[in-house]
Amino acid sequence: MVDNTNSYKDRVSRLISWGHWFMMANILLAMLMSIRYVFAVDSDVTLLSAIYVLVTWIGHFGFLGIATYVIILFPITFIAPYSAIMRGVGAMIATMTIVALLIDGSVYQNYHLHLDLLAFDLSGFSLDNSIGWSSIGLFLLALLLVELTIANLIWKRLSSIRSRDIGNKVTLFFLGCFVLSHLMHIWSDAAVYRPILSFDKMFPLSHGSTARSFIKKHGWINEQHSQQLRQSNSARSISYPLAPLQCLDTPANNLLIITIASANSELVTEQLMPNLSKFAISSINATQHISSSLKMSDATFSLQTGLPALYHDIFEREQLQSPLHSLSKGVAIKTFGIILDKAAAFEKDSAANIDRQHVMQILSWINTDRQQPYYADITLYASQELSIAEDFTSHVSLPKQHLNAAEKVLATQYLTSLAYTDQLLGEILQSVDLSNTTVVITSNRGHDLRSIYQRSATYSHVNLRVPLYISIPNVAPRTLTKQTSHYDIAPTLLRHHFKCGNPSSDISVGYDLLSTQQSKLIYVGGARDFALYQHDNITLIDRQGQYRFYDKKYQTQQKGQLSFQALIDVMANINRFK
């Protein structure tokens, strides 16, 4: 077909029609190039998930093709309504788009990352790791010739194609697939149907609809939905430990783990917490220690298993034991202070009084005559609840921080509750024989004195930095300045308390505290959102894949960077147990 009229209106009309069919041809080409994304996803395949992948595959690339045409080619049609120009421009745009899709597919296959801003903000990220540029160059030239051929063929046969009158039907088909894919995702999100949810973020620029607020408003999902959704994002199966544990049959020493619900490492001073400060001197003192989660149950899980919280639900579903419990066969085991319904418990009695009762119980139990060693753990809640016994008095000094009147009141209560907790710790430690008992004292999280009432859920330095002191018989005390986390506690105990010969990698994403190894990047959080902690710099990544960089004061960094290799290493380390 040849431009044989000077009518601007006719030229534009024909070029718009040509653009529609050129766009359609490239949608089909993009779909063929994108099949690799589907096979890169590890998921359970069901009939519904197969249908979802099919309609998403058609609808998503149909939408992207239409959007590309409307945003780029359609306006150019009115500016330069000449077929030669449009065919050349269209072929170049389509070529660059398909090549970008090819490169993104290669990166996704290797790293499960799309070429978004996060990838290019990663220090050390290079496309050279995934792409052979000589091959891409040849492919680009070949594809450009193919695109020019397609553009010319469609232009020459435009009248014949238009006479078939199927354009509207094809468009409706793509639109129907697009709508159906999002409706299926909304349902799967409400029903927590994992075979579909596991395909989230499969294609570039994809974002599954949820309508969660609308559904909750109408009462179509219950309050357990968030918990079910968190479980659906957790590991589906686990291989743990990766090798049989080779340890002594029965530990020769006692094991005592004391967890303070909330305590900042910088608040462990001789003035405020003299008993804990004294214990720190005769222990392994990890000065740069962080918790693994701001949620108490997840932090405790990581302490006992050395694994991140995304494995927590599979442990509960399969009723697995932590190695600390499984290796304690033949010893007396007792847990104090595990309160399932804390709100109801603290409504009946104060956390300070409950802590006192638990301390009396554990002291009585420890002092019981027994022939075998024991394993005990206790959690103290007073500092989390800002609770103080009525008969306890202490004069605390507030740190030099700018606090308003309300913040000063809460900060004073928090510090006083820490002083009270320290008194309880002193009573426990006086009854423990450190010559034959391994003692671990740590905390689940810290508190920002300026926002104690809100109990901030931010992965800030002040919320994550917690004390860690471990006293092990026949192991010399020392101060560790390297970065450590809750993931390091279990492998340390397995090596030095249970005398296991396994490497730390068999049971944990962390390392033995006394080894020279350390985690460059620490995964903090759960399955739905998490942060990556690296030398006081925090990268927060939410469930939509959005990210932000923060410094140790949790101030946004406009030009933050994350090591690409460190990110790849930490994700590979975490996924080893799946």
The DSSP result for 19-61, as a single string, is HHHHHHHHHHHHHHHTHHHHHTS-----HHHHHHHHHHHHHHH
Domain stop point among 519, 545, 562: 519
On whether both 258 and 370 belong to a single domain, the answer is yes
On whether both 207 and 266 belong to a single domain, the answer is no
Question: For the chain, how many structural domains are there in total?
Answer: 2
Tell me the two tokens of residue 449: 């004195």
Residue 450 domain-assigned (yes or no): yes
Q: What is the pLDDT of residues 357-381, one digit of tens each?
A: 999 999 999 988 788 899 999 999 9
Residue 352 domain-assigned (yes or no): yes
CA distance 31 to 39: 13
Give residue 572's pLDDT. Answer: 79
Position 122 confidence tier, pLDDT thresholds 50, 70, 90: low
Sheet containing 284-290: order of strands: 332-336, 374-380, 254-262, 437-445, 468-471, 284-290, 478-485
Give residue 496's pLDDT. Answer: 95
Residue 357 domain-assigned (yes or no): yes
Give residue 405's pLDDT. Answer: 84
On whether both 31 and 131 belong to a single domain, the answer is yes
CATH number of domain containing 407: 3.40.720.10
Q: How confident is the model over 164-170, as a mean pLDDT?
A: 80
Is the pLDDT score of 552 beyond 80?
Answer: no
Position 145 confidence tier, pLDDT thresholds 50, 70, 90: very high
On whether both 12 and 114 belong to a single domain, the answer is yes
Highest mean pLDDT among 71-85, 216-230, 323-337, 465-479: 465-479
Q: Which residue has the higher pLDDT, 395 or 230?
A: 395
Residue 2 domain-assigned (yes or no): no
Chain center to CA of 521: 13
Q: What is residue 557's DSSP assignment?
A: P
Is the pLDDT score of 402 beyond 70?
Answer: yes
Tell me the two tokens of residue 88: 């050349």
**b/e sequence 153-172, b meaning 16+ C-beta within 10 Å:** ebbeebeebeeeeeeeeeee
Residue 378 domain-assigned (yes or no): yes
On whether both 76 and 31 belong to a single domain, the answer is yes
Residue 571 domain-assigned (yes or no): no
On whether both 445 and 515 belong to a single domain, the answer is yes
CA distance 204 to 11: 34
CA distance 339 to 158: 73
Give residue 360's pLDDT. Answer: 95
On whether both 458 and 320 belong to a single domain, the answer is yes
Give the domain extent around 152: 8-232
Give residue 345's pLDDT. Answer: 80
Position 5 confidence tier, pLDDT thresholds 50, 70, 90: low
Give residue 1's pLDDT. Answer: 45
Position 159 confidence tier, pLDDT thresholds 50, 70, 90: confident
On whether both 259 and 303 belong to a single domain, the answer is yes
Handedness of CA 59, 61, 65, 71 (dihedral sign): positive
Domain stop point among 519, 554, 569: 519
CA distance 524 to 529: 9
Percent of the chain with pLDDT over 90: 43
Position 2 confidence tier, pLDDT thresholds 50, 70, 90: very low
Q: How many CB atoms lie within 10 A of CB 558?
A: 6
Q: How confident is the model over 310-322, as a mean pLDDT?
A: 87
Residue 550 domain-assigned (yes or no): no
Q: How confident is the model over 399-427, as a mean pLDDT?
A: 90
Residue 531 domain-assigned (yes or no): no
Residue recorded with tokens 């018989």: 473
Give residue 217's pLDDT. Answer: 58
Give yes or no for a contact between 379 and 448, defined as CB atoms under 8 angstroms apart: no
Residues whose CB is less than 8 angstroms from the CB of residue 197 and which lie 6 or more positions away in sequence, other chains included: 185, 188, 189, 208, 232, 233
Q: How confident is the model over 205-232, as a mean pLDDT?
A: 61
Q: Which residue has the higher pLDDT, 56 or 127?
A: 56
Domain stop point among 501, 519, 537: 519
Q: What is the pLDDT of residues 31-79, one digit of tens each?
A: 998 888 888 777 778 889 899 999 999 999 999 998 989 899 999 999 9
Among 25-29, 72-76, 527-531, which is the least confidently predicted range? Answer: 527-531
On whether both 29 and 157 belong to a single domain, the answer is yes
On whether both 181 and 319 belong to a single domain, the answer is no
Residue 487 half-sphere exposure toward CB, CA atoms < 13 A: 28
On whether both 210 and 80 belong to a single domain, the answer is yes
Q: What is the pLDDT of residues 251-279, one digit of tens each?
A: 889 999 999 999 999 999 999 999 999 99
On whether both 182 and 223 belong to a single domain, the answer is yes
Give residue 234's pLDDT. Answer: 52
Q: What is the pLDDT of residues 83-96, one digit of tens each?
A: 899 999 999 999 99
Give yes or no for a contact between 175 and 27, defined as CB atoms under 8 angstroms apart: no
Report cis status (omega within 30 of 0) of the bond before 241.
yes
Amino acid identity of residue 268, one-letter, is V
